[in-house]
């Protein structure tokens, strides 16, 4: 696609997204939406999905589910009412869709008040707040720069997290409180992932929220455990930006490894956080992704 054509399409698709986000309670007609942004009805659906990584229907449903999660977190509105507002005709259909997206039933998520309700996405579009669109890589395109590094074995103090990987932030919050309470000196934060999310049910995924510690570190506190992070060869890429873009970054890593012909090594993949989300703007966050390879 020529650059000026791509820019024109991006501007039109951004206008479509803004319209959709402002009319969540309306039935979205693809023909009307294409006409609204003056784009051919024939091309609109294809261009929308290519630039955002979601169809119009998928984006519309996700934003409604994110709004539902926000309602559950911040209000006492009955779950049935939240379900109807999200566009579901029955309570049961809403629960199925909600569990498939978040890995938990609405009543369970309502008790997890620290979770902001955002679902992972490649395009950065979420319910509420400022609309910031990140257009996705085109088919076969690899944007992330990846290098092979030899990493030394390290130790990390961790708290176990079970459930969807994108909810690990709440476990990092608990770990941060523990570190503050015990005044433990640590290095950078690290998240270790032990299961394949494409083959493991979301509520059965296992991971660790941790921070690197000195080689001689020990603790008997049952709230945490020490993990020996293996060394060796890793494919390493850096993700620039908000954490909700990490799933797309992991997709980039997989594409790079498949294209490189490298084989995976039997060890956990992990993320290393180069700066702190507590004092760094989302756009300036830097996260290194490590995939063990042979």
Q: Assess whether pLDDT exceeds 70 at residue 255.
A: yes
Q: What distance in Å separates the CA atoms of residue 47 and residue 35, rounded to the nearest whole number?
A: 14
211-250: per-residue pLDDT in tens?
999 999 999 999 999 999 999 999 999 999 888 888 888 9
144-193: per-residue pLDDT in tens?
889 999 999 999 999 999 988 988 988 999 999 999 999 999 999 999 99
Contacts of 241 (CB under 8 A, 6+ apart): 124, 134, 282, 283, 285
* pLDDT at residue 1, as a whole number: 47
Q: Which residues, listed in sequence order, are joined to residue 159 by a DSSP beta bridge?
A: 209
Just give the CATH number of 1-136.
1.10.10.60
Q: What distance in Å separates the CA atoms of residue 224 and residue 172, rounded to the nearest whole number?
A: 12
* pLDDT at residue 5, as a whole number: 61
Q: What are the boundaries of each domain within the chain?
A: 1-136, 146-292
- pTM score: 0.75
Q: What's 293's DSSP letter?
A: B
Q: Which residues, listed in sequence order, are joined to residue 237 by a DSSP beta bridge?
A: 146, 289
82 pLDDT tier (thresholds 50, 70, 90): very high
| 146-292 has CATH 3.40.470.10 classification | no
């Amino acid at each position: 696609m020529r650059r000026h054509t791509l820019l024109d399409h991006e501007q039109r698709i951004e206008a479509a997204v803004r319209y959709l986000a402002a009319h969540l309670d309306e039935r979205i007609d693809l023909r009307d939406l294409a006409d609204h942004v003056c784009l051919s009805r024939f091309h609109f659906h294809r261009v929308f999905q290519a630039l955002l990584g979601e169809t119009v229907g998928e984006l519309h449903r996700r934003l409604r589910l994110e709004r539902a999660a926000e309602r559950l977190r911040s209000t006492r509105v009955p779950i049935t009412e939240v379900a109807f507002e999200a566009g579901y005709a029955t309570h049961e259909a809403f629960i199925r869709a909600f569990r498939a997206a978040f890995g938990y039933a609405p009543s369970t998520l309502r008790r997890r008040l620290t979770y902001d309700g955002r679902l992972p996405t490649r395009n950065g579009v979420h319910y509420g707040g400022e609309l910031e669109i990140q257009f996705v890589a085109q088919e076969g395109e690899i944007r992330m720069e990846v290098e092979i590094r030899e990493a030394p074995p390290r130790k990390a103090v961790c708290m176990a997290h079970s459930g969807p990987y994108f909810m690990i932030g709440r476990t990092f919050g608990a770990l941060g409180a523990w570190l503050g309470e015990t005044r433990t000196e640590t290095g950078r934060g690290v998240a270790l992932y032990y299961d394949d999310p494409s083959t493991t049910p979301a509520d059965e995924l296992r991971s660790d929220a941790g921070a690197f510690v000195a080689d001689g570190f020990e603790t008997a506190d049952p709230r945490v455990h020490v993990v020996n992070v293996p060394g060796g060869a890793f494919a390493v890429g850096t993700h620039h930006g908000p954490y909700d873009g990490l799933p797309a970054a992991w997709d980039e890593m997989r594409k790079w490894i498949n294209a490189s012909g490298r084989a995976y090594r039997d060890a956990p993949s992990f993320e290393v956080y180069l700066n702190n989300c507590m004092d760094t703007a989302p756009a300036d966050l830097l996260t290194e992704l490590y995939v063990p390879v042979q």
